[in-house]
Amino acid sequence: MAALAAAALPCPLLLAVSWALAGTAAGEKILPPPSNLSYSFIHICTLNWTWNPPENVSSNCNLWYSSNILTKGDPKDISTWHKDQFRVTDAHLNEEMLFRVRSECRNDTTTEPSPWVETSLLPKGILGTAAVDLSCVWHNLEYMACTWRPGQNASSDTNYTLFYWFDGLENPKKCSNSSVDQGIFECIFNLTFPKVIRDYPAISILISDDSEEIRPVCASKNPTTLVKPATPRQLTVSKTDDTINVKWSESETFPKNCLHYEVKCYNGDLDIQVIESETNSVSIPGIDPNSKYTFKVRAKLKTVCYDSHLHSDWSEEKSIGEKRDSTTYFVLIIAIPLIVAVSTVILLVYLKRLKILILPPIPDPREILKRMFGEQNEDSQSSAKDDPMNAFDRVIIEEEIHSLVLTETSESTNSEKENR
């Protein structure tokens, strides 16, 4: 029977019992380890480890227990002593999780603590298929958005599903508003608590797949470290005398005095002023009436309410006043030297023509007379040649000359004949 009982014990427990018996045989008083160490899931990512007191221990022994968790051989927490025979911890489903516990008699200084007794929670699925880079943001205390990437060994058609649970929910809930964009998974679910609550419960998140090949992964998130306020809206800017008044809407989801604001003022392109405000308005005196002012606002969290370092996005910009148009001055600065240079070139090129127009030369009278008489002679000759009547007279004169020549020639011929 003793052999059967020993065979029924888990290997680690059997080893611890063997150490205890060996220590007793050597004359040392070593307390036996706890028995019947086991675990069970309370919710999706919460484990309850339980055990029984050591056997054959005196009723006068004030039993205390020490336990811790190891992953990859390294402790995940610090061992603490307590009287409870259970411990609730987060589950590490993506890697092997080793839980161990031992006992001690606090009122017996002659007895050494028992050896460790341990058990393991082995991961399921293929290594490298679990979701990685899980990141969550709690937007305006209204909804939580979680993103993650697929594991390097996961197939392209892996359909991850997110489940969440926190203290107050009867059962875990499935996040149904999911999407995938460029390989990044995102799922959004509503998450609200009454305003009077300041100590928010931890959010347990499980990402898994229907396929047994995909390894699940668990994470516990403290929501106070994930809060991001909403962007301030309804930004209005008004001016009274020499003071600018800036006002914006205040979020209704946050408790009072849990937000403060940062206002950024632009006066021109380089003059930037940052103003801190505890309320949803700010006044800026001593403004320049000839300047244009532009404002934008963002909300920030107070550390007395939340541990998050996130702030809201900047609001839309609102402007007031008229900005001096520096474009005109810039154009003039560029255009004036350019006009002067072009004008100088034109003056140099057309200097002679300009000189002639401004100071024309004095004409020589002799040249004028020569040109006048020369032109008249040429005109008369050309007119005589070109006149039709003159041409007819020239023909008659030429005929008379020819007739005279012929007559003289005939008379001379007759005289010679008579002389013969």
Q: SS3 letters for the chain? A: CHHHHHHHCCHHHHHHHHHHHHHHHCCCCECCCCEEEEEEEEECCEEEEEEECCCCCCCCCCEEEEEEEEECCEECCCCEEECCCEEEEECCCCCCEEEEEEEEECCCCCCECCCCEEEEECCCCECCCCCEEEEEEEECCCEEEEEEECCCCCCCCCCCEEEEECECECCCEECCEEEEECCEEEEEEECCCCCCCCCCCCEEEEEECCCCCECCEEEEECHHHCEECCCCCCCEEEEECCEEEEECCCCCCCCCCCEEEEEEEEECCCEEEEEEECCCEEEECCCCCCCCEEEEEEEEECCCCCCCCCECCCCCCEEECCCCCHHHHHHHHHHHHHHHHHHHHHHHHCHHHHHHHHCCCCCCHHHHHHHHHHHHHHHHHHHHHHCHHHHHHHHHHHHHHHHHHHHHHHHHHHHHHHHC
Question: C-alpha distances in angstroms, 368 versus 59, 360, 379, 382?
Answer: 153, 16, 16, 21
Q: What is the mean pLDDT of the chain?
A: 80
Are 202 and 88 a contacting pair, CB within 8 Å? no
pLDDT in tens, 321-343: 776 555 665 677 788 888 888 88
pLDDT score of 59: 81
Confidence of residue 107 (pLDDT cuts 50, 70, 90): confident
pLDDT in tens, 46-98: 999 999 999 888 888 889 999 999 987 777 777 788 899 999 998 989 889 99
Tokens of 254: 């946050």
pLDDT in tens, 20-47: 444 444 445 888 999 999 999 988 999 9
Does the predicted model carry a pTM greater than 0.85?
A: no
Give the HSE-up count for residue 351: Cα atoms under 13 Å, Cβ half-sphere: 5
- Residue among 225, 187, 186 at smallest CA distance from 203: 225
Please state whether 181 falls in left (phi above 0), alpha (psi between -120 and 50) or beta: beta
More confident residue, 24 or 318: 318
pLDDT score of 84: 93
pLDDT score of 225: 95
